[in-house]
Homo-oligomer: A and B are copies of this chain.
Amino acid sequence: MRGKQLGRQTYALAHPPTAAGWGSVAGKKEGEGPLGPRFDQVATESYFGQRTWERAEREMQRLAVQTALSRAGISAAGLDLLLGGDLTNQCIATGYAARSLGAPFFGLYGACSTMAEGLALAALLLDGGFGAHAAAVASSHFCTAERQYRMPLEYGGQRTPTAQWTATAAGAVVLAAEGSGPCVTHVTVGRIADCGIRDANNMGAAMAPAAYETIRAHLADTGRTPADYDLIVTGDLGQLGSTLVTELFRRDGVELEHYADCGVLLYDLARQDVHCGGSGCGCSAAVLTASLLGDLREGRLRRVLFCGTGALHSPVSLGQGESVPGICHAVALAAAHSER
């Protein structure tokens, strides 16, 4: 039996690959947030024991993958495929982490949607019969991203109210073609949506239309309603972007009852001075691996629609007057094969 295409964007997997292991690594600030106790590792300083922030981010990826592999009961040598990416130019955190792991490697660029993109591709490939174990990894680091995308850190630039805080975090998931436990049942591949936002400090608004379009396509393709999910979670639109998604659905007469956003879940917004919430590839990767997958395994969640959102601009494209293209990939997760 082969996977089935539903509509143009969605695939129902014939043999839903299971999450055999996962790992999460977070920075100090993230460790002080509501998910703090649930991370596998929390850094005590921004360098993670390395001599540059870029090396710190690479090390966080490596640790996240190693933790996931160890929980899955395999070594890096037993991994058939590693898929990953990050926000640094030329994705160097991932490239160098992949070098240290030595697995067959496909590099991705999906901005903050990378975890969902990697998970989607890993699930499709395993379901297609290619390999027994595939891992997806994504990371971000406040210090590598901020100076690259916005201002030198030393400048101490004032943040606007719509700004989000790039998470210092990494998450990795090892999927297995066989096994029991939380599994990937459907994948909805995103198309780019762009409503003309040109403000580098308002990524939530730039990505919200893509999240809306992909969730809508997923529900239409599968014939499901929001009530079929215990949680629909975007990542990472922040407070403003996630409010926009709720409003876009309300216009259609659809109420997103159990809806949350990884950018809002990662921090205590009232206390941690992160403005609209978290962002960065590591944000949704860390929320998935520190919280959602565990909740699925423990039965606190039965079905989750994990919707990674990314903004596919660059400082150069914004400087040239372009708007921000948004994308969102949705991965449907179930607590067990019986729940699909």
Contacts and interface: CB of A to CB of B under 8 A. Distances in A.
Interface of A: 2-5, 8-9, 11, 14, 52, 54-55, 80-81, 85, 87-92, 94-96, 98-99, 102-111, 117, 120-121, 124-125, 127-131, 189-192, 194, 312-317, 320, 322, 325, 327, 329
Given A124-B130, A128-B130, 7 more contacts: A11-B130, A87-B90, A92-B313, A92-B317, A95-B325, A98-B192, A102-B192
Contacts of A95: 192, 312-313, 325
A194 B101 CA distance: 13
Contacts of A316: 54, 88-89, 92
A111 B92 CA distance: 11
B90 A314 contact: yes
Contacts of A117: 106-107
A253 B41 CA distance: 48
21 contacts: A3-B130, A14-B129, A54-B316, A90-B312, A90-B314, A90-B317, A91-B109, A92-B312, A94-B109, A95-B312, A96-B312, A96-B325, A99-B194, A104-B189, A105-B191, A106-B120, A107-B117, A107-B327, A108-B109, A127-B128, A128-B129
A16 to B, nearest CB: 14
A107 B110 contact: yes
Contacts of A14: 129
A7 to B, nearest CB: 10
Contacts of A120: 106
Contact of A107 (B4, B80, B102, B108): B108
B111 A108 contact: no
A103 B192 CA distance: 8
Given A54-B317, A92-B313, A314-B89, A121 B106 contact: yes
Contacts of A98: 192, 312, 325
Nearest to A1: B129
A322 to B, nearest CB: 7
A327 B52 contact: no
A230 to B, nearest CB: 26
B312 A2 contact: no
A108 B322 CA distance: 21
A3 B128 contact: yes
A73 B104 CA distance: 34
Q: Which 9 A-B pairs have the closest CB atoms?
A: A128-B128, A95-B312, A2-B129, A90-B314, A104-B189, A109-B109, A99-B192, A107-B109, A89-B89
A317 B96 contact: yes
B317 A105 contact: no
A55 B102 contact: no
Given A90-B314, A125-B128, A110 B99 contact: no
